[in-house]
Amino acid sequence: MKIIRSIAGMRKYSGGARSKGKTVGFVPTMGYLHEGHLSLIRRAKKECDLTVLSIFVNPTQFGPAEDYKKYPRDLKHDEAIARRLGVNAIFLPTVDKMYPPGFCTYVSVEGLSGILCGRSRPGHFRGVATVVSKLFNIVQPDVAYFGQKDAQQAVIIRRFVKDLNMGVKIRVLPIIREKDGLALSSRNKYLSGQERKDALVLYAALRGARRRVLAGERSAKRVVSAIKRLIEEKKGAKIDYVSVVEADSLTEIKRISGKVLIALAVRIGKTRLIDNVIIIKKEGTKAQRHRGTKKKMEIRCG
Protein backbone atom coordinates (compact mmCIF):
# COMPACT_ATOMS: atom_id res chain seq x y z
CA MET A 1 0.00 0.00 0.00
CA LYS A 2 1.32 3.39 -1.04
CA ILE A 3 1.17 6.38 1.27
CA ILE A 4 1.04 9.49 -0.90
CA ARG A 5 1.40 12.90 0.68
CA SER A 6 1.97 15.21 -2.27
CA ILE A 7 -0.64 16.40 -4.73
CA ALA A 8 1.73 15.88 -7.66
CA GLY A 9 2.47 12.34 -6.43
CA MET A 10 -1.22 11.50 -6.22
CA ARG A 11 -1.90 12.90 -9.66
CA LYS A 12 0.98 10.89 -11.09
CA TYR A 13 -0.13 7.66 -9.41
CA SER A 14 -3.68 7.95 -10.73
CA GLY A 15 -2.63 9.20 -14.14
CA GLY A 16 -0.23 6.30 -14.48
CA ALA A 17 -2.90 3.78 -13.52
CA ARG A 18 -5.46 5.26 -15.88
CA SER A 19 -3.02 5.43 -18.77
CA LYS A 20 -2.59 1.67 -18.38
CA GLY A 21 -6.35 1.27 -18.69
CA LYS A 22 -6.92 0.58 -14.99
CA THR A 23 -10.01 1.94 -13.28
CA VAL A 24 -9.61 3.94 -10.08
CA GLY A 25 -12.14 3.76 -7.24
CA PHE A 26 -11.96 6.56 -4.70
CA VAL A 27 -13.17 6.76 -1.11
CA PRO A 28 -12.69 10.30 0.28
CA THR A 29 -12.90 10.40 4.09
CA MET A 30 -11.96 12.48 7.10
CA GLY A 31 -10.45 9.36 8.65
CA TYR A 32 -11.27 7.71 11.98
CA LEU A 33 -12.66 4.91 9.85
CA HIS A 34 -15.69 2.88 10.91
CA GLU A 35 -17.74 0.13 9.28
CA GLY A 36 -19.53 2.74 7.16
CA HIS A 37 -16.27 3.72 5.49
CA LEU A 38 -15.26 0.07 5.27
CA SER A 39 -18.38 -0.75 3.26
CA LEU A 40 -17.33 1.92 0.76
CA ILE A 41 -13.79 0.57 0.52
CA ARG A 42 -15.04 -2.99 0.03
CA ARG A 43 -17.35 -1.87 -2.77
CA ALA A 44 -14.55 0.09 -4.46
CA LYS A 45 -12.30 -2.98 -4.23
CA LYS A 46 -15.01 -5.05 -5.88
CA GLU A 47 -15.78 -2.63 -8.70
CA CYS A 48 -12.44 -1.03 -9.60
CA ASP A 49 -8.90 -2.13 -10.42
CA LEU A 50 -7.34 0.20 -7.86
CA THR A 51 -8.76 1.68 -4.69
CA VAL A 52 -7.56 5.04 -3.39
CA LEU A 53 -8.55 6.21 0.08
CA SER A 54 -8.05 9.82 1.11
CA ILE A 55 -7.89 10.99 4.70
CA PHE A 56 -8.19 14.73 5.12
CA VAL A 57 -10.01 16.59 7.87
CA ASN A 58 -11.08 19.52 5.74
CA PRO A 59 -11.07 22.81 7.64
CA THR A 60 -13.25 24.69 5.15
CA GLN A 61 -16.31 22.58 5.91
CA PHE A 62 -16.24 23.35 9.64
CA GLY A 63 -17.80 26.51 11.07
CA PRO A 64 -15.74 28.62 13.47
CA ALA A 65 -17.64 27.20 16.48
CA GLU A 66 -17.51 23.62 15.20
CA ASP A 67 -15.32 20.66 16.13
CA TYR A 68 -12.51 20.92 13.54
CA LYS A 69 -9.76 20.83 16.15
CA LYS A 70 -11.18 18.03 18.26
CA TYR A 71 -12.49 15.97 15.34
CA PRO A 72 -11.19 12.45 16.13
CA ARG A 73 -8.03 11.36 14.31
CA ASP A 74 -6.22 8.03 14.44
CA LEU A 75 -4.01 7.63 11.42
CA LYS A 76 -2.27 4.46 12.61
CA HIS A 77 -5.57 2.67 13.13
CA ASP A 78 -6.84 3.93 9.75
CA GLU A 79 -3.69 2.78 7.94
CA ALA A 80 -3.92 -0.68 9.47
CA ILE A 81 -7.55 -1.04 8.38
CA ALA A 82 -6.78 0.21 4.87
CA ARG A 83 -3.90 -2.23 4.55
CA ARG A 84 -6.06 -5.10 5.76
CA LEU A 85 -8.77 -4.27 3.25
CA GLY A 86 -6.32 -4.09 0.35
CA VAL A 87 -6.44 -0.35 -0.33
CA ASN A 88 -3.82 0.41 -2.98
CA ALA A 89 -2.99 3.96 -1.98
CA ILE A 90 -3.82 6.36 0.82
CA PHE A 91 -3.73 10.03 -0.08
CA LEU A 92 -2.82 12.19 2.93
CA PRO A 93 -2.58 15.82 1.84
CA THR A 94 -1.78 18.58 4.31
CA VAL A 95 -3.93 21.65 4.93
CA ASP A 96 -1.08 23.90 3.73
CA LYS A 97 -0.88 22.14 0.38
CA MET A 98 -4.63 21.98 -0.12
CA TYR A 99 -5.16 25.63 0.85
CA PRO A 100 -1.94 27.51 0.07
CA PRO A 101 -1.69 31.28 0.64
CA GLY A 102 -3.90 33.17 -1.80
CA PHE A 103 -6.41 30.33 -2.13
CA CYS A 104 -9.80 31.89 -2.88
CA THR A 105 -11.87 29.64 -5.16
CA TYR A 106 -15.05 27.96 -3.98
CA VAL A 107 -17.58 25.62 -5.55
CA SER A 108 -21.12 26.42 -4.42
CA VAL A 109 -24.23 24.40 -5.06
CA GLU A 110 -26.80 27.12 -4.66
CA GLY A 111 -30.25 26.30 -3.36
CA LEU A 112 -29.23 22.86 -2.10
CA SER A 113 -26.66 24.20 0.37
CA GLY A 114 -28.78 26.53 2.51
CA ILE A 115 -31.45 24.03 3.56
CA LEU A 116 -31.54 21.13 6.09
CA CYS A 117 -28.01 20.81 7.56
CA GLY A 118 -26.91 23.88 5.61
CA ARG A 119 -29.25 26.10 7.65
CA SER A 120 -27.39 25.51 10.90
CA ARG A 121 -24.00 24.98 9.22
CA PRO A 122 -23.53 27.97 6.87
CA GLY A 123 -20.58 27.43 4.54
CA HIS A 124 -20.42 23.71 5.32
CA PHE A 125 -21.51 22.44 1.92
CA ARG A 126 -19.46 25.05 0.09
CA GLY A 127 -16.48 23.59 1.93
CA VAL A 128 -17.53 20.05 1.04
CA ALA A 129 -18.14 20.81 -2.65
CA THR A 130 -14.84 22.66 -2.89
CA VAL A 131 -12.68 19.99 -1.28
CA VAL A 132 -14.39 17.13 -3.11
CA SER A 133 -13.89 18.99 -6.42
CA LYS A 134 -10.22 19.39 -5.58
CA LEU A 135 -9.85 15.74 -4.59
CA PHE A 136 -11.61 14.59 -7.76
CA ASN A 137 -9.27 16.72 -9.88
CA ILE A 138 -6.22 15.35 -8.09
CA VAL A 139 -7.24 11.67 -7.84
CA GLN A 140 -9.14 11.57 -11.15
CA PRO A 141 -11.22 8.57 -10.13
CA ASP A 142 -13.58 6.63 -12.36
CA VAL A 143 -15.95 6.01 -9.44
CA ALA A 144 -16.21 7.72 -6.04
CA TYR A 145 -18.02 6.27 -3.04
CA PHE A 146 -20.04 8.08 -0.38
CA GLY A 147 -22.33 7.06 2.45
CA GLN A 148 -26.07 7.68 2.52
CA LYS A 149 -25.79 8.88 6.12
CA ASP A 150 -24.74 12.27 4.75
CA ALA A 151 -27.80 12.34 2.54
CA GLN A 152 -27.65 16.02 1.66
CA GLN A 153 -23.92 15.80 0.95
CA ALA A 154 -24.59 12.94 -1.47
CA VAL A 155 -27.24 14.95 -3.35
CA ILE A 156 -24.95 17.99 -3.50
CA ILE A 157 -22.00 15.96 -4.79
CA ARG A 158 -24.13 14.34 -7.49
CA ARG A 159 -25.37 17.80 -8.41
CA PHE A 160 -22.02 19.57 -8.83
CA VAL A 161 -20.47 16.58 -10.59
CA LYS A 162 -23.30 16.78 -13.11
CA ASP A 163 -23.35 20.59 -13.31
CA LEU A 164 -19.58 20.93 -13.78
CA ASN A 165 -19.39 17.95 -16.16
CA MET A 166 -16.90 16.06 -14.05
CA GLY A 167 -16.30 12.60 -15.45
CA VAL A 168 -16.75 10.78 -12.13
CA LYS A 169 -19.42 8.19 -11.35
CA ILE A 170 -20.90 8.67 -7.87
CA ARG A 171 -22.03 5.67 -5.82
CA VAL A 172 -23.94 6.23 -2.60
CA LEU A 173 -24.08 3.19 -0.29
CA PRO A 174 -26.56 2.48 2.53
CA ILE A 175 -26.10 3.64 6.11
CA ILE A 176 -24.32 1.11 8.30
CA ARG A 177 -25.80 0.87 11.79
CA GLU A 178 -24.89 -0.63 15.13
CA LYS A 179 -27.02 -3.63 16.09
CA ASP A 180 -29.23 -1.35 18.18
CA GLY A 181 -29.84 0.96 15.22
CA LEU A 182 -27.45 3.86 15.85
CA ALA A 183 -26.02 5.07 12.53
CA LEU A 184 -22.23 4.80 12.49
CA SER A 185 -20.40 8.11 12.69
CA SER A 186 -16.93 9.17 13.75
CA ARG A 187 -18.70 11.66 16.02
CA ASN A 188 -20.40 8.88 18.07
CA LYS A 189 -17.12 8.80 19.96
CA TYR A 190 -18.14 12.08 21.62
CA LEU A 191 -21.22 10.47 23.29
CA SER A 192 -21.30 9.59 26.99
CA GLY A 193 -22.98 6.35 28.09
CA GLN A 194 -26.33 8.03 28.72
CA GLU A 195 -26.11 10.09 25.51
CA ARG A 196 -25.36 6.93 23.56
CA LYS A 197 -28.64 5.47 24.89
CA ASP A 198 -30.58 8.67 24.18
CA ALA A 199 -29.21 8.75 20.63
CA LEU A 200 -31.14 5.57 19.83
CA VAL A 201 -34.29 7.67 19.66
CA LEU A 202 -33.18 9.03 16.25
CA TYR A 203 -33.48 5.80 14.34
CA ALA A 204 -36.39 4.61 16.51
CA ALA A 205 -38.29 7.74 15.46
CA LEU A 206 -37.35 7.26 11.79
CA ARG A 207 -38.44 3.62 11.93
CA GLY A 208 -41.72 4.73 13.46
CA ALA A 209 -42.15 7.21 10.63
CA ARG A 210 -41.49 4.51 8.07
CA ARG A 211 -44.17 2.31 9.66
CA ARG A 212 -46.67 5.15 9.56
CA VAL A 213 -45.95 5.83 5.90
CA LEU A 214 -46.26 2.13 5.11
CA ALA A 215 -49.57 2.09 6.90
CA GLY A 216 -50.82 4.77 4.52
CA GLU A 217 -49.84 8.07 6.12
CA ARG A 218 -49.41 10.73 3.43
CA SER A 219 -49.08 13.88 5.48
CA ALA A 220 -45.45 14.99 5.84
CA LYS A 221 -46.53 17.33 8.62
CA ARG A 222 -47.97 14.52 10.75
CA VAL A 223 -44.91 12.34 10.13
CA VAL A 224 -42.60 15.18 11.22
CA SER A 225 -44.74 15.85 14.31
CA ALA A 226 -44.63 12.22 15.40
CA ILE A 227 -40.84 12.13 15.02
CA LYS A 228 -40.42 15.37 16.95
CA ARG A 229 -42.72 14.17 19.78
CA LEU A 230 -40.64 11.04 20.28
CA ILE A 231 -37.30 12.86 20.24
CA GLU A 232 -38.51 15.63 22.55
CA GLU A 233 -39.20 13.01 25.22
CA LYS A 234 -35.44 12.68 25.69
CA LYS A 235 -34.26 15.44 27.96
CA GLY A 236 -30.75 15.67 26.49
CA ALA A 237 -31.95 15.89 22.88
CA LYS A 238 -32.35 19.17 21.02
CA ILE A 239 -33.81 19.03 17.53
CA ASP A 240 -32.04 20.96 14.78
CA TYR A 241 -34.49 19.88 12.06
CA VAL A 242 -36.77 17.04 10.98
CA SER A 243 -37.73 17.21 7.31
CA VAL A 244 -39.57 15.23 4.69
CA VAL A 245 -38.21 16.05 1.23
CA GLU A 246 -38.15 14.71 -2.30
CA ALA A 247 -35.05 12.51 -2.20
CA ASP A 248 -33.18 13.72 -5.31
CA SER A 249 -34.00 17.44 -5.25
CA LEU A 250 -34.35 17.87 -1.46
CA THR A 251 -37.52 19.90 -2.15
CA GLU A 252 -39.80 20.05 0.88
CA ILE A 253 -43.04 18.16 0.25
CA LYS A 254 -46.43 18.14 1.93
CA ARG A 255 -47.85 14.91 0.57
CA ILE A 256 -45.69 11.80 0.75
CA SER A 257 -45.32 10.17 -2.67
CA GLY A 258 -42.47 8.90 -4.85
CA LYS A 259 -38.92 8.71 -3.51
CA VAL A 260 -38.91 10.48 -0.21
CA LEU A 261 -36.11 11.30 2.24
CA ILE A 262 -36.92 11.72 5.90
CA ALA A 263 -33.90 13.39 7.43
CA LEU A 264 -33.08 14.81 10.81
CA ALA A 265 -30.32 16.45 12.80
CA VAL A 266 -30.42 16.39 16.59
CA ARG A 267 -28.03 17.56 19.24
CA ILE A 268 -27.51 14.92 21.92
CA GLY A 269 -25.74 16.86 24.64
CA LYS A 270 -23.09 18.76 22.70
CA THR A 271 -22.89 16.25 19.84
CA ARG A 272 -24.79 16.94 16.65
CA LEU A 273 -25.98 13.70 15.02
CA ILE A 274 -27.74 13.17 11.71
CA ASP A 275 -29.74 10.24 10.40
CA ASN A 276 -32.25 9.52 7.65
CA VAL A 277 -34.34 6.95 5.82
CA ILE A 278 -35.39 6.83 2.20
CA ILE A 279 -38.85 5.52 1.41
CA ILE A 280 -39.93 4.84 -2.15
CA LYS A 281 -43.69 5.03 -2.24
CA LYS A 282 -45.00 3.97 -5.62
CA GLU A 283 -48.53 4.98 -6.37
CA GLY A 284 -50.65 2.50 -8.35
CA THR A 285 -51.49 3.49 -11.92
CA LYS A 286 -54.77 5.24 -12.53
CA ALA A 287 -56.19 2.00 -13.96
CA GLN A 288 -55.15 0.05 -10.90
CA ARG A 289 -56.75 2.59 -8.64
CA HIS A 290 -59.96 2.35 -10.67
CA ARG A 291 -59.90 -1.41 -10.24
CA GLY A 292 -59.54 -0.81 -6.53
CA THR A 293 -56.13 -2.45 -6.50
CA LYS A 294 -54.16 -1.83 -3.37
CA LYS A 295 -51.52 0.86 -3.92
CA LYS A 296 -48.11 -0.65 -4.42
CA MET A 297 -45.39 0.35 -2.05
CA GLU A 298 -41.76 -0.42 -2.05
CA ILE A 299 -39.41 0.48 0.74
CA ARG A 300 -35.74 1.16 0.80
CA CYS A 301 -34.00 2.43 3.87
CA GLY A 302 -30.70 4.11 4.48
Cβ closest to its own copies, residue 130 vs residue 188:
130
Would you tell me the crossing angle of helices 151-163 and 124-139 to the nearest 10 degrees? 60
Active site residue 34: no
Distance CA 50, CA 45 (A): 7
Among 3, 75, 86, 106, binds its own copies (CB under 8 A): 106
Instruction: Find out whether 26 and 52 touch, Cβ atoms under 8 Å.
Output: yes
Active site residue: 37, 77, 124, 290, which one?
37
Q: Does 160 contact its own copies by CB under 8 A?
A: yes
Q: Does 286 contact its own copies by CB under 8 A?
A: no
Q: Does 124 contact its own copies by CB under 8 A?
A: no
Q: Does 95 contact its own copies by CB under 8 A?
A: no
Among 6, 219, 249, 257, binds its own copies (CB under 8 A): 249
Give 224's contacts (C-beta < 8 A, 6+ positions apart): 242, 243, 244
Residues 44-73 that bind its own copies (CB under 8 A): none
Among 89, 112, 182, 191, binds its own copies (CB under 8 A): 112
Instruction: Find out whether 160 and 137 touch, Cβ atoms under 8 Å.
Output: no
Among 165, 179, 193, 235, binds its own copies (CB under 8 A): 165
Residues 187-216 that bind its own copies (CB under 8 A): none
Would you tell me the crossing angle of helices 35-47 and 75-85 to the nearest 10 degrees? 30
Please calculate the CA angle 238-68-261 and round it to the nearest 5 degrees: 50
What is the rounded radius of gyration, in angstroms, for the C-alpha atoms of the chain? 20
Q: How many CA atoms are closer than 13 Å to the CA of 261, on its beta-carbon side?
A: 22
Distance CA 272, CA 269 (A): 8
> Containing H/E element for 22?
none
Binding segment for its own copies (CB under 8 A), chosen from 160-168, 172-180, 226-234, 287-295, is 160-168
CB of 113 to its own copies, least distance (A): 9
Among 64, 65, 69, 167, binds its own copies (CB under 8 A): 167
**What distance lies between CA 138 and its chain's CA centroid?**
21
Q: Does 96 contact its own copies by CB under 8 A?
A: no
Distance CA 34, CA 184 (A): 7
Strand 143-147 and strand 237-246: the pairing is unpaired
Binding segment for its own copies (CB under 8 A), chosen from 101-109, 183-191, 206-214, 279-287, is 101-109
Among 128, 138, 202, 256, binds its own copies (CB under 8 A): 138
Cβ closest to its own copies, residue 144 vs residue 206:
144
Cβ closest to its own copies, residue 106 vs residue 285:
106
Q: How many CA atoms are closer than 13 Å to the CA of 186, on its beta-carbon side?
A: 19
Interface positions with its own copies (CB under 8 A): 7, 11, 19, 102-112, 129-130, 133-134, 137-138, 140, 159-160, 163-167, 249
Q: Which residues are catalytic?
A: 37
